[in-house]
C-alpha cells in the first residue's frame, strides 16, 4: 500500500477527529458539536471543514454527499483504510469493505439519525462526568443465540458516578420493519424475543434503547408489543422514545424522556440514589431546668 503525505501540522485533535469518524460517519455540523468533547474544541464550522479537507488530501478521510436531506446539500465523512490503520496500527486487519464505502441511498437517513444519537449521547455523558467505557459501531457487535444472530445499530457501556456499569444496545427505527410478522423476517416481534432470550443467558443486565424517527406513536406500538411478548414483566429490558425528543433533551443520558414496556418514564442513566440521612438525635431534656 502506498503511503500518503501527512498534513503539514499533525495535531492531537486530528486523532480525535479520526476516532470520532471510526464510530460512525459524521457531517461537519455533527463533528462541530461533538468537538465539545475534544481537548481543543472547534469554534466555527469553517474550521471543521478546512481541517477535514486537509485530512482528506492526506488520504485519511473520505467524503461523500447525502443524496437527499432537508438540511440542504450536506457532506459526510468516513475513515479511509489509511486513516483506520493510523488509529489502530499498520498490522491491524481492516474491517469489511462496506466500512469504507459510501452509504447506500436506502441507509442514509438511518446513518444520519444514528450519528445524531451518538453525538448527543457522547456530549451529554461527558457533561455529566459519565465515562463511556466501551463502544461498538454499527454491525460490529454480533449477538448469537443458536441459529439466530442480531447486530444492534451500536452498543455502549457507561459507568455512573456510583460506579454502576450500564450496558446498552441501540436500535434506530425508521418505521421500515413491521412490529408483528408471522414470516421469518426482521420485525420487532423477532427482535424483542431474541433480546429477551439473550438477556436470560447473561448474568450482566443490559437495556435495549429504541429511538424512532417517524411517527410520534411508533415507539408506543413497539412498547405495547414488548409488554405482550416479554415473559418477565418485572424486567425493564426495552426503553423507547422518539429520537427528536431525546435530541431535544439537554440532559441526554440523564433525561427521563424514555418509556419502558409498562410506560413508566425512565432515563438511560437513572438519578444517583443518595443515601438517607441518619435521623437527627432527639435532644435530651434537662429535667432540673425544666422544673424551674
Q: Using the predicted structure, report yes or no on whether residue 217 has a pLDDT greater than 70.
A: yes
Q: What is the pTM of this model?
A: 0.89
Query: In this predicted model, what pLDDT tens digit does every residue of 232-285 receive, in sequence order?
Result: 888 999 999 999 999 999 999 999 999 999 999 999 999 865 544 455 554 443
pLDDT score for 247: 98
**DSSP state, residue 37:** G
Q: At what angle do helices 188-200 and 218-229 cross, to 10 degrees?
A: 50
Over 60: is that where the pLDDT of 114 sits?
yes
CA 87/CA 202 separation, integer angstroms: 32
Bridge partners of 150, per DSSP, are 143
Question: At the topology level of CATH, where does 104-271 sit?
Answer: Trna Endonuclease; Chain: A, domain 1 (3.40.1350)
The answer, yes or no, to whether residue 25 has pLDDT greater than 70, is: yes
Average pLDDT for 167-189: 90
CA distance 196 to 140: 20
Residues forming beta bridges with residue 51, ordered by sequence position? none
Whether the predicted pLDDT of 34 surpasses 60: yes
Quick check: 235 and 199 in contact, CB under 8 A?
yes
Q: Which of 155, 164, 117, 129 is nearest to 270 (CA)?
A: 164
Residue, of 271 and 33, whose pLDDT is higher: 33
Q: Output 253-260 pairs: Cβ under 8 A, ≥24 positions apart.
A: 253/121, 253/124, 253/125, 253/128, 253/130, 253/158, 254/124, 254/128, 255/124, 258/209, 259/219, 259/220, 259/223, 260/223, 260/236
pLDDT at 126: 97
Average confidence (pLDDT) over 105-113: 95
- Domain ranges for the chain, please list them: 1-103, 104-271
The pLDDT of residue 203: 87
Whole-number pLDDT of residue 251: 94
CATH fold for the domain made of 1-103? Arc Repressor Mutant, subunit A (1.10.10)
**Mean pLDDT across the stretch 64-70?**
79
pLDDT band at 88 (very low <50, low <70, confident <90, very high): very high
Q: Quick one: cell of 181?
A: 410478522
Beta carbons of 236 and 266 less than 8 angstroms apart = yes
Whether residue 2 has pLDDT greater than 70: no
pLDDT-derived band at 286, boundaries 50, 70, 90: very low
Over residues 128-139, the mean pLDDT reads 95
Helical pair 81-88 and 12-23, crossing angle rounded to 10 deg: 110
Res. 17: pLDDT tops 60:
yes
In this prediction, residue 186 carries a pLDDT of 80
Q: Evaluate if residue 290 carries a pLDDT over 80.
A: no
The percentage of residues in the chain with a pLDDT greater than 90, rounded to a whole number, is 77
CA 170/CA 207 separation, integer angstroms:
8
Amino acid at each position: 500500500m502506498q503511503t500518503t503525505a501527512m498534513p503539514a501540522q499533525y495535531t492531537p485533535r486530528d486523532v480525535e477527529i479520526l476516532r470520532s469518524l471510526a464510530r460512525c460517519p459524521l457531517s461537519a455540523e455533527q463533528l462541530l458539536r461533538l468537538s465539545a468533547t475534544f481537548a481543543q474544541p472547534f469554534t466555527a464550522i469553517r474550521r471543521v471543514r478546512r481541517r477535514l479537507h486537509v485530512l482528506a488530501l492526506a488520504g485519511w478521510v473520505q467524503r461523500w454527499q447525502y443524496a437527499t436531506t432537508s438540511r440542504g446539500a450536506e457532506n459526510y465523512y468516513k475513515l479511509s483504510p489509511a486513516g483506520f490503520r493510523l488509529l489502530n496500527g499498520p498490522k491491524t486487519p481492516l474491517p469489511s469493505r462496506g466500512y469504507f464505502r459510501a452509504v447506500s441511498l436506502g441507509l442514509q437517513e438511518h446513518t444520519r439519525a444514528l450519528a445524531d444519537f451518538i453525538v448527543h449521547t457522547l456530549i451529554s455523558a461527558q457533561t455529566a462526568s459519565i465515562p463511556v467505557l466501551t463502544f461498538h459501531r454499527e454491525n460490529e457487535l454480533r449477538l448469537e443465540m443458536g441459529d439466530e444472530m442480531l447486530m444492534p445499530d451500536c452498543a455502549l457501556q457507561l459507568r455512573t458516578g456510583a460506579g454502576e456499569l450500564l450496558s446498552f444496545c441501540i436500535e434506530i427505527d425508521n418505521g421500515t420493519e413491521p412490529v408483528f410478522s408471522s414470516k421469518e423476517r426482521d420485525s420487532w416481534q423477532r427482535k424483542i424475543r431474541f433480546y429477551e432470550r439473550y438477556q436470560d443467558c447473561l448474568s450482566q443486565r443490559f437495556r435495549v434503547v429504541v429511538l424512532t424517527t417517524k411517527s410520534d406513536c411508533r415507539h408506543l406500538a413497539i412498547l405495547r408489543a414488548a409488554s405482550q411478548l416479554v415473559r418477565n414483566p418485572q424486567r425493564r429490558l426495552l426503553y423507547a422514545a422518539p429520537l427528536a425528543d431525546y435530541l431535544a433533551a439537554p440532559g441526554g443520558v440523564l433525561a427521563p424522556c424514555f418509556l419502558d414496556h409498562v410506560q413508566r418514564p425512565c432515563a438511560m442513566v437513572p438519578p444517583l440514589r443518595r443515601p438517607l440521612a441518619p435521623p437527627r438525635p432527639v435532644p435530651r431534656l434537662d429535667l432540673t431546668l425544666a422544673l424551674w
